[in-house]
Amino acid sequence: MFYNEDCILGAKKYLKDNSVDLIISDPPYGIGGDKLDKHYNRDESNVIDGYVEVTENEYPEFTMQWIKEAERVLKPSGSIYIVSGYSNLRHILNALANTKLQGKNHIIWKYNFGVYTSKKYISSHYHILYYVKPPCNQATFNTNAFFADSEKAENGGSANYLDREDVWIINREYKPNQIKNKNELPKTLLTKMILYSSNPNDIVCDLFLGSFSTAKVAIGLGRKSCGFEINKNAFDYQMQEMEKIKSGEMLSELRQVPENKLINKGKPLSKEEIEIIKNKFTHYFRKGYTKKRTIETLSKEQGRGYFSILNIVDKQEFKHNKIAERSLF
Ligand SMILES: C[S@@+](CC[C@H](N)C(=O)[O-])C[C@H]1O[C@@H](n2cnc3c(N)ncnc32)[C@H](O)[C@@H]1O
């Protein structure tokens, strides 16, 4: 569901507590963004009119209010990504510090077409704050969303490691002669956040939809979406564009990630490793994992096949352990 409303009032009216899995939000930057085109001499003839900025004075309170709503509507263990420039980053950090949300990463998004300046360095990055609502250890993070552990990058290193570094070099999209919003986020950037931090059918919310870029990618990737945009011109135009998006249509464009190789498969199990597996099983069980999910997690962690973990878990003496009995045996 999408609403042409102020997101703070709208969230209070329409979004229940603990109802969305992932929030991706790119709030107005509070730097006169509605007038910047004149300053930077950009051609904005295809940009939709009516972008709503927030004044510098209002920014701290505005930020406090929308982040409070974001915290409320996020499910426990849900994730939030906030895109911000440098000028008002401190207000976003202050507001986050006033919540129970826990910081996971401060990501730097390096883009092309930085704002040219001759007497200082050229500004060519944004900040992305990735936070999670407690309990954090159950947050969705699909470690192998893009690369299996064993895949190599061009430089010979691990492709998975490289993809999960906290500096992302992703170009903005060049859209000559197309209707657009100011500051549209690229599909590649949104795909990255959505695939790492959500699963199919999860609800992805954007409190500042702009061109509905988050919603389009979320639905394209088979998620559900909701959000707010206060600018009626952008809202009306993009609601029509949304009708062209089919749920899951982007999934077939994704590269198939090979199954992770099980590096310890076939090697004899030591007593110590068996003990580790039993302890970890108990640990995950206490966290509320099902037997199947626990075994899959342990299989990945230990580099062992599903059935070798199942065998240990099913062993008679462990079966009688009180904690194990409460599971799905
Ligand atoms: C930085 S842009 C978002 C761009 C968007 N991520 C995209 O890719 O197109 C911020 C958007 O928030 C909208 N906005 C400003 N104040 C708002 C509010 N209180 N509630 C909802 N939307 C608001 C602006 O009109 C603008 O479209």
- What pLDDT does residue 222 have? 98
Index of the ligand 1 atom closest to the CA of residue 181 = 9
**Is the CB of residue 185 less than 8 Å from the CB of residue 204?**
no
Residue in 312, 300, 219 with CA at minimum distance from that of residue 274: 312
Classify residue 175 as exposed, middle or buried by CB count within 10 Å of its CB (0-12, 13-18, 19+).
exposed
212: left (phi over 0), alpha (psi -120 to 50) or beta: left
Classify residue 251 as exposed, middle or buried by CB count within 10 Å of its CB (0-12, 13-18, 19+).
exposed
Per-10-residue mean pLDDT, the chain, length 329: 97 98 95 55 63 90 98 98 96 98 98 87 95 95 92 91 97 71 87 98 98 98 98 96 97 91 83 90 85 85 87 68 47
183: left (phi over 0), alpha (psi -120 to 50) or beta: left
- What pLDDT does residue 51 have? 83
User: In the beta sheet, which residues pair with residue 205?
Assistant: 23, 226
- What pLDDT does residue 28 have? 94
**What residue owns the CA closest to ligand 1's atom 5?**
210
Classify residue 312 as exposed, middle or buried by CB count within 10 Å of its CB (0-12, 13-18, 19+).
buried
Hey, what amino acid is at 231? N
Angle at 244 between CA 242 and CA 248, to 5 degrees: 90
**How close is the Cα of 183 to the center of ligand 1, in Å?**
9
**How close is the Cα of 126 to the center of ligand 1, in Å?**
16
**What residue owns the CA closest to ligand 1's atom 4?**
210
Which residues does 35 contact at the CB level (< 8 Å), separation at least 6?
Answer: 53
**How close is the Cα of 231 to the center of ligand 1, in Å?**
8
- What pLDDT does residue 176 have? 65
- What pLDDT does residue 46 have? 62
Q: Which tokens is 75 given? A: 């499910």
50: left (phi over 0), alpha (psi -120 to 50) or beta: left
**Is the CB of residue 227 less than 8 Å from the CB of residue 205?**
yes
Summarize pLDDT for 127-172 with one digit per residue, the tens.
999 999 999 989 999 999 999 988 999 988 899 999 999 999 999 8
210 pocket-lining for ligand 1 (C-beta < 6 Å): yes
**What residue owns the CA closest to ligand 1's atom 1?**
28
Question: Buried b vs exposed e over 54-88: b needs ≥16 C-beta within 10 Å?
Answer: beeeebbebbbbbbebbbbbbbeebbbbbbbbeeb
230 pocket-lining for ligand 1 (C-beta < 6 Å): yes
**What residue owns the CA closest to ligand 1's atom 7?**
184
Summarize pLDDT for 7-52 with one digit per residue, the tens.
999 999 999 999 999 999 999 988 775 554 544 445 555 667 778 8
**How close is the Cα of 317 to the center of ligand 1, in Å?**
58
